[in-house]
Structure 1
């Protein structure tokens, strides 16, 4: 079984040269986007194959998520988990005198599968009635449900709300609307799951902070899937959650600013790259790096199968509808408020990053895809 798994994982492509003609073409394409475009291509050994202002910092847009996902893989020793606690006394008749606490551990992928497992642990313990209520505790993070772009408020472009305890990115029902209190929404859904199997709960679910006690049961999130969602689908809510989780695991407050600092610290220590990050999702212009640092990160992280599988292939995820060749894996980025368009990835062993400020998004994307087309051919 192990042999099969190892064989099924594609190894990183080996160092690939770039012809003089192709070098001239990609540099000409990058320069055509103006003086605020920075660009580099390296091989898998870090040797520069083509470059235009490669050491100049530019806003990253969602290419920021490459730094966040790398820091999560390097800095989290265990996946995020969600716990259920019986905060009270359980009598022989199945009455819990007290509350059930659902404690969030920063799993942005919490869904019905995980909550049902926790529900089953409660009923297996013999709970039949609760005198209190279900309390959702998301206090591992602060109360901000968005990023710095909205001063922590709800962000329409975030595909959900950020929270240490969050069911389906902030819903109270599967596929329902997002709620501004994700912990209360998750608790309400857990309450519904318990009542559906006959547990009597006379009081409505709420959010709140409770002192932690030994959990009755926990469910772990799928870190590899969270990394893939961050990079292939460019999920802002997942990236921002991972940043806050890194901060909280490191003993800092679970805030957006602390998350950005934590990402910087991890990738700086492990990968020797120095981004300047203002968030973990790339939704503000203050998150910047040089193309050289982006390429250096990609070169080192591509050795890790979980990261390698997280990048979108041509035609999938955020590359759907683009003309990036199928032999490339890449991360897109767009930040319209800063007129920023970015693309970074790996095409046949050629590692590249192009960060553009100024030109219209569609024009920049077209040129970026042309660059990838050159790099993706044999």
Structure 2
């Protein structure tokens, strides 16, 4: 009889707890919607049982909102599925022509990329720029090359000349977080600016760049801001330009390195490789990119001898940093690589369409619920529903690679979740186990809130605390 009563009461107990959790989530969400910061804004929250997929709560779950960087979770999941956790990008070093007895290469040195987002990055042991430049220099030395009579050519053609997704703001693209993808991305397509504050209202002195970017024209219009005003420095440039305008204010008490994006990463790589070779006693005068040669209708011969083939870190290691540090550049590389490996035209729109089509076919998500334009969430034109996000995140829980994906998510508010923020947008998406042991997956987004972002963020945390 006791066993019978236990079996009878247990479902009622579980259902009661589920209803209690649902009610608490609903009340917390209603408080958020009624908050003065949300008078002109829109909020959306979707929560599923992470194992069964049961909808525990959906507040405006089918309303498309700008997701900011929480979109990275969808790009990551799609890359895991379509590329595989062990996928790598290959970069080759070779030459055309022939090497004479005195060590002169009568031909070109050619570095050919395939879209490795980590080439020259400091985030991984083997990708650091100095290690790769030495590796390639040693390869030339082993081949007996002491002088290059031809050119150093960086072959950046695979990803085409459209380096930026449509809709990225002009104020973003000159800064490190707005760096666009290149077939030959180098050092994450960014460099550092070292400023020294002057008097308030007067010029903030640009002391140097790291590394040396002497081939670029930097127009410094930055002034010194008042104490406590912080970093309001923006770099303005265009793809393939050699001029960067630096504008805004640098707080008088600020001691911070500012990072800008590199307008032509393949050319930057050629510049630094030539300098490294010269320091190593190998002379090379002319550097060109394959894009330049094609635009000028100047032919060049492909490498007839490969001297080195370098493989990037595996995809799971790329995605770890992609989500941990929210590197927009990595997302755009993933989108173009997905298009490439699905035999589509290698463009951002084609890669995005592959992502939308895949999840539409796999989970039945309406493609109109995923109105996205990039892989990183930087575009303010992106719109996606929180219900779409949680359906995708719930579906991948059973995948063999899920542990790697889960590890890539940062921790905020003592919760494993990806954050997202652009102008007037805050968002979080991730996983949480409730106090009664219910595994949850959630996505929360607010758009067009008013007031401070720190205050709005705390109010989102107050809602998410109910899931604990």
* TM-score range normalised by the length of the shorter chain: 0.7 to 0.9
User: Are 1:263 and 1:280, in contact at CA under 8 Å, matched by a contact in 2?
Assistant: no
Aligned counterpart for 1:197 among listed residues 243, 267, 280: 280
Bigger drift between 255-264 and 287-296 goes to: 255-264
Alignment correspondent of 2:290: 208
Alignment correspondent of 1:38: 44
Aligned counterpart for 1:133 among listed residues 137, 151, 154: 151
Tell me the TM-score normalized by structure 2.
0.67
* 1:216-231 alignment runs, 5 A limit: 216-222=307-313, 223-231=315-323
User: Are 2:180 and 2:332, in contact at CA under 8 Å, matched by a contact in 1?
Assistant: no
Partners of 1:16 and 1:184 lie apart in 2 by 62
Alignment correspondent of 1:368: 460
1:288 Cα deviation from its structure 2 partner: 2.2
Partners of 1:211 and 1:88 lie apart in 2 by 8
Partners of 1:366 and 1:280 lie apart in 2 by 27
1:180 Cα deviation from its structure 2 partner: 1.0
Partners of 2:443 and 2:316 lie apart in 1 by 24
Distance 1:110 1:247, change over 3 A: same
Query: Which structure carries more strand by proportion?
Result: 2
Distance 1:205 1:156, change over 3 A: same
Distance 1:126 1:21, change over 3 A: same
Partners of 1:25 and 1:73 lie apart in 2 by 35
User: Are 2:352 and 2:375, in contact at CA under 8 Å, matched by a contact in 1?
Assistant: yes
Partners of 1:266 and 1:155 lie apart in 2 by 33
Alignment correspondent of 1:10: none
1:40 Cα deviation from its structure 2 partner: 1.2
Determine whether 1:307 maps to 2:405.
Answer: yes
Aligned counterpart for 2:137 among listed residues 116, 119, 122: 119
Partners of 2:356 and 2:303 lie apart in 1 by 32
1:108 Cα deviation from its structure 2 partner: 1.3
Partners of 2:272 and 2:283 lie apart in 1 by 15
Distance 1:190 1:290, change over 3 A: same
Give the alignment's Cα RMSD to 1 decimal: 2.8
* 1:66-81 alignment runs, 5 A limit: 66-76=73-83, 78-81=87-90
Distance 1:268 1:79, change over 3 A: farther
Partners of 2:460 and 2:169 lie apart in 1 by 31
Distance 1:171 1:301, change over 3 A: same
Which one has a bigger Cα radius of gyration?
2
Residues 7-63 of structure 1: CA deviation (Å, up to 9, x unaligned): xxxxxxxx9996444432322222334372221111222112222122332221111
User: Are 2:112 and 2:184, in contact at CA under 8 Å, matched by a contact in 1?
Assistant: yes
1:157 Cα deviation from its structure 2 partner: 5.9
Partners of 1:175 and 1:32 lie apart in 2 by 50
* 1:99-248 alignment runs, 5 A limit: 99-111=108-120, 112=129, 113-150=131-168, 154-156=173-175, 158=177, 160-171=179-190, 175=211, 178-201=261-284, 203-209=285-291, 212-213=302-303, 215-222=306-313, 223-248=315-340
Distance 1:217 1:141, change over 3 A: same
Alignment correspondent of 1:283: 378
Partners of 1:225 and 1:257 lie apart in 2 by 25
User: Are 2:70 and 2:427, in contact at CA under 8 Å, matched by a contact in 1?
Assistant: yes
SS of alignment partner, residue 131 of structure 1: strand
Alignment correspondent of 1:342: 427
Tell me the TM-score normalized by structure 1.
0.82
User: Are 2:115 and 2:333, in contact at CA under 8 Å, matched by a contact in 1?
Assistant: yes
User: Are 1:118 and 1:218, in contact at CA under 8 Å, matched by a contact in 2?
Assistant: no
Question: Which blocks of at least 5 consecutive residues in structure 2 are unaligned?
Answer: 1-13, 34-40, 121-128, 192-208, 213-259, 292-299, 434-438
Distance 1:211 1:132, change over 3 A: closer
Partners of 1:95 and 1:272 lie apart in 2 by 61
User: Are 1:104 and 1:137, in contact at CA under 8 Å, matched by a contact in 2?
Assistant: yes
Partners of 2:447 and 2:139 lie apart in 1 by 52
Aligned counterpart for 1:57 among listed residues 60, 64, 85: 64
SS of alignment partner, residue 192 of structure 1: helix
May I ask how many residue pairs the two structures share in their alignment?
Answer: 348
Question: Which blocks of at least 5 consecutive residues in structure 1 are unaligned?
Answer: 1-14, 315-323
Distance 1:271 1:309, change over 3 A: farther
